[in-house]
Chains A and B, each alone.
Chain A
Amino acid sequence: KAGVTQTPRYLIKTRGQQVTLSCSPISGHRSVSWYQQTPGQGLQFLFEYFSETQRNKGNFPGRFSGRQFSNSRSEMNVSTLELGDSALYLCASSLARGGVYEQYFGPGTRLTVT
């Protein structure tokens, strides 16, 4: 079974630009969560989507947005990039099975803002 895939894997952008990251969950998984990982702040929750609806959102500015499509693929967008947005962005897909809700993480997209 294929795992979670994220594209692109690496990205370099300039301050002020915008970026779109993509995540394809494991087949059959309907929930997708996004996390930002930085050396200073660690792993922080961005948002979660389930069946095309945003179920929860972390404490990030409105420049960070996302969406989920009918095939469960998800995208996140960051507008007006700042240097502090440089991070590893991880996507996780989830399946609730027998009361266990386990997240499977993708390889991540490493975003560098210059």
Chain B
Amino acid sequence: ELKVEQNPLFLSMQEGKNYTIYCNYSTTSDRLYWYRQDPGKSLESLFVLLSNGAVKQEGRLMASLDTKARLSTLHITAAVHDLSATYFCAVPNYGGSQGNLIFGKGTKLSVKP
């Protein structure tokens, strides 16, 4: 059974600091998704990582994928308050279909001035 674990689950950061969110998954997958969710809102797609060694960057966020280690990281550079949200990683459950994503529990990020 595919399991996806994120850590930390809660992260309180000061503006301007850097930090990394980790996402481990238990079975082989060649792709991984990162989403952002603001309170009371739906999920917004951030990154689609498609292969081993994939790295994508958007603004202060950079995501990478190591399929051999079954690990993805979401690195936050010089955090700002607008990044406060919950971040989820998700892996397709190939035992089912690509439309079946298994999500981590989410990392609730709070950026304080």
A residues near B, CB below 8 A?
31, 33, 35, 42-45, 48, 50, 55-56, 58, 90, 92, 94, 96, 99-108
Q: Chain B contacts of A100 at CB under 8 A?
A: 48, 50
A96 with B98, Cβ < 8 A, contacts A42-B106, A43-B103, A101-B92 known: yes
7 contacts between A and B (CB under 8 A): A33-B100, A48-B97, A50-B99, A55-B97, A90-B43, A92-B43, A96-B98
Q: Chain B contacts of A90 at CB under 8 A?
A: 42-43
Residues 70-101 of chain B, each 1 if its beta carbon lies under 8 Å from chain A, else 0: 00000000000000000010101100111111
Is B45 in the interface zone, CB < 8 Å from A?
A: yes
Where chain A touches its partner, the secondary structure class is strand
Give Cα A50 to B48, complex, Å: 21
Q: Contact at B100–A58, with CB atoms within 8 Å?
A: yes
* B81 vs chain A, min Cβ distance (A): 23
Size of B's binding interface in residues, CB under 8 A: 24
Q: Contact at A56–B101, with CB atoms within 8 Å?
A: no
Q: B48, B88, B101: which has the most chain A beta carbons within 10 Å?
A: B101
* B56 vs chain A, min Cβ distance (A): 12
**Which 5 pairs show the lowest CB-CB distances between chains A and B?**
A48-B99, A56-B96, A43-B103, A105-B43, A101-B98
A55 with B103, Cβ < 8 A, contacts A90-B42, A99-B50, A100-B48 known: no
Q: Contact at A105–B42, with CB atoms within 8 Å?
A: yes
Q: Contact at B100–A48, with CB atoms within 8 Å?
A: yes
A101 with B99, Cβ < 8 A, contacts A42-B106, A43-B88 known: yes
Residue from the list B90, B97, B104, B106 in contact with A56, Cβ < 8 A: B97
Is B102 in the interface zone, CB < 8 Å from A?
A: yes
Q: Chain B contacts of A102 at CB under 8 A?
A: 33, 45, 48
